[in-house]
Structure 1
Amino acid sequence: MTTQRFDWVGTIVKPAVFTAALVPLAALAWNFFHDRLSANPIADITNATGIWTLRFLVITLAITPARKLAKLSWLSRFRRMTGVFAFFYAALHFTTYIWLDKFFEWQEMFDDVAKRKFIAIGFASFVLLIPLALTSFNKAQKWLGGKRWNALHRLTYLIGIGGVVHFIWRVKADLREPTIYAVVVGVLLLLRLWWLIAQTRWFSHAGQRKPLQSSQTSPSASQSFSNPVVRL
């Protein structure tokens, strides 16, 4: 009788990570309802949801490199969760802007997108997040097929860059914090590029190796000792 291994990741770690991912929202709600935000609460909510969107994007981008470098395969089980939370906080960020800040004044928002480039790139990044959130489930992956699903979800790289640029253009003056995010995202993307180049070279070298032709005449027993055949 075989004993089933205890799934400590699914039973303990995933619920803990899920709960921790909701802590920023809970803290923001607590501060809002207890009047602990600044004189401009809309700006506080916008900034908080925006920074947590970027943080979850960075965490999502970091999972694969961390899994490969640390050889912890179970980390990949959190990639979907962190990606969905990135969309969740992005949706709150966007909703705060169109509802609390602009009161659904669509013309004013269109003017913002046209005149303020940090809003334009932020809006574009959010739009790119939508299909990733809608296809984050197993049924969507099966419907699209592995190759198309992977190709679609590589938009995460572009969204990560867009999020950093949005932050830099929004801050303008003190660039220390957005620079940190830019460096981290840059390193994570360079790691992926390096692995891709290494993998491409490996396949290229493997394709150049030609197996021995079966039509060649096999050497005799006496020849095989004096002139051995080396197989690659």
Structure 2
Amino acid sequence: MNKLLLHKAGKPVVFLLSLLPFAWLVWGAFTGGLGANPAEYLVRATGDWTLRFLCIVLAVTPLRVMAGLPGLARYRRMLGLFVYFYVCLHFLSYAWFDMGLDLPSIVKDIAKRPFILVGFTAFVLLTPLAATSFNRAIKALGVRRWQWLHKLVYLIAGLGLLHFFWMRAGKNNFAEVFVYAAIIGVLLGWRAWHALGRRRATAAAASTGAAPTRAVRVQPGK
């Protein structure tokens, strides 16, 4: 499996697969397949795919560690950029179809409605992560500062989930919210458990004077 992940065709294949939801939405827009309210469908669908790709990105490190698949790390940055791609489409759909690209109205609407403010905050926080997802930025920031910056993804996941919850609250449809909450909760819980285990191992090694076990760190995608 790891050989497949490291194959030179791996990245192009994942790139094309990640574009399939976008291609499907474009096809639906041109063929009338987006239902009675295409604008609302596009806003919700792009938001859903943003959250789905965020879950996929958060799942990369646990799968890499538990399954022993270091080759997964090379896809993490690209998948993270697709999170930003779909959140940009989500915001553009809202700004265009709901607000007619009227900037003053958009600003007032963001300030007036909490669920939009939360979603916009997540979008703003994602921007520096996308802007620093290349090797030159990592070198400029330094690996440690880059890693600390990209820990914002955990806050972004919480904001995205809250935004999704408020969007569904108007229709009393919480089934999908619970599914995403469970997935994100498990993925973030694994990270907390793994970090606690590393700290305990380091503390135990320090108390006995032994060399600490080498920690498994989240590496920048290649």
CA deviation string 1:129-188 (max 9, x = no partner): 000000000010000001000000011111111111111110111100111001100010
| Alignment correspondent of 2:112 | 115
Relative to 1, partners in 2 of residues 1:135 and 1:198: Cα closer, same or farther, differing over 3 Å?
Answer: same
**One-letter code aligned to 2:106:** M
State percent identity of aligned pairs.
45
- Asked whether 1:16 is paired with 2:6, we answer no
Which runs of structure 1 show a deviation greater than 6 angstroms over 4 or more consecutive aligned residues? none
What pairs up with 1:67-216 in 2 under 5 angstroms?
67-172=64-169, 173-210=172-209
Superposed displacement of residue 209, structure 1: 2.3
Superposition TM-score, scaled by structure 1 size = 0.85
Q: Which structure has the larger Rg?
A: 1
Q: Is the 8 A contact 2:5 2:72 kept in 1?
A: no
CA separation of 1:21 and 1:210: change in aligned 2, threshold 3 A = closer
* Amino acid in structure 1 at the alignment position of 2:69: L
Structure 2 residue matching 1:36: 3-state secondary structure: coil
Displacement after TM superposition at 1:7 (Å): 7.5
- Structure 1 spans left out of the alignment, 5+ residues: 1-5, 212-232
TM-score, L = length of structure 2: 0.88
Q: Secondary structure at the match of 2:81?
A: helix
CA distance in 1, matches of 2:196, 2:43: 39
Establish whether residue 42 from structure 1 lines up as the match of residue 39 from structure 2: yes
Work out the CA distance in 1 between the residues paired with 2:62 and 2:108.
Answer: 40
**Following TM superposition, by how much is the alpha carbon of 1:93 offset from its aligned partner in structure 2, in angstroms?**
0.7
> Hey, what does 1:219 align to over in structure 2?
none
Letter paired with 2:205: A
8 Å contact from structure 2 (residues 5, 71) kept in 1: no
Structure 1: how far apart are the matches of 2:193 and 2:98?
42
Give the 3-state SS of the residue equivalent to 1:11 in structure 2.
coil
CA shift for structure 1 position 36: 1.7
SS of aligned partner of 1:74: helix
Deviations 1:190-210 (A, max 9, x none): 100001111111111222224
How far did residue 98 of structure 1 move? 1.3
Structure number with greater CO (CA < 8 Å, separation at least 6) is 2
Classify the secondary structure of the residue corresponding to 2:34. Answer: coil
Distance 2:94 2:117 in 1: 13
Contact 2:125–2:152 (8 Å) recurs in 1: yes
Which AA in structure 2 matches 1:199? R
Distance (whole Å) between structure 2 residues aligned to residue 103 and residue 205 of structure 1 = 60
> d(CA) in 1 for partners of 2:97 and 2:48?
18
Q: CA deviation at 1:99?
A: 2.0
The count of corresponding residues between Structure 1 and Structure 2 is: 206
